[in-house]
Amino acid sequence: MDFEFGSADGEFRGEVRDWLTRHLVGPYGELGGVGGPGSEHEGFPVRREWERELGAGGWIGLGWDRAHGSYGNRSATLTQQVVWAEEYARARAPGRVGHIGENLLAPTLIAYGDEAQRERFLPAIARGEELWCQGYSEPDAGSDLAGVRTAAVRDGGAYRVSGQKIWTSLAREADWCFVLARTDAGERRHRGLSFLLVPMDQPGRIEVRPIRQMSGTSEFNEVFFDGAVARGEHVVGGEGAGWRVAMGLLAWERGVSTLAQQIGFAAELAEVVGEAVARGAVRDPVLREQLLTQWAELKVMRWNALRTLGASGDAGAPSVAKLLWGGWHRRLGELAMRVRGAAAASGPGDWSARAPYELDALQRLFLFSRADTLYGGSDEIQRNILAERVLGLPRGERR
Specify which residues 151 forms β-bridges with.
Answer: 162, 182
- Indicate if 253 belongs to the active site: yes
**How far is Cα 386 from Cα 365, in angstroms, rounded to an integer?**
28
- Of the candidates 86, 119, 129, 253, the residue annotated as catalytic is 253
Active-site residue list: 253
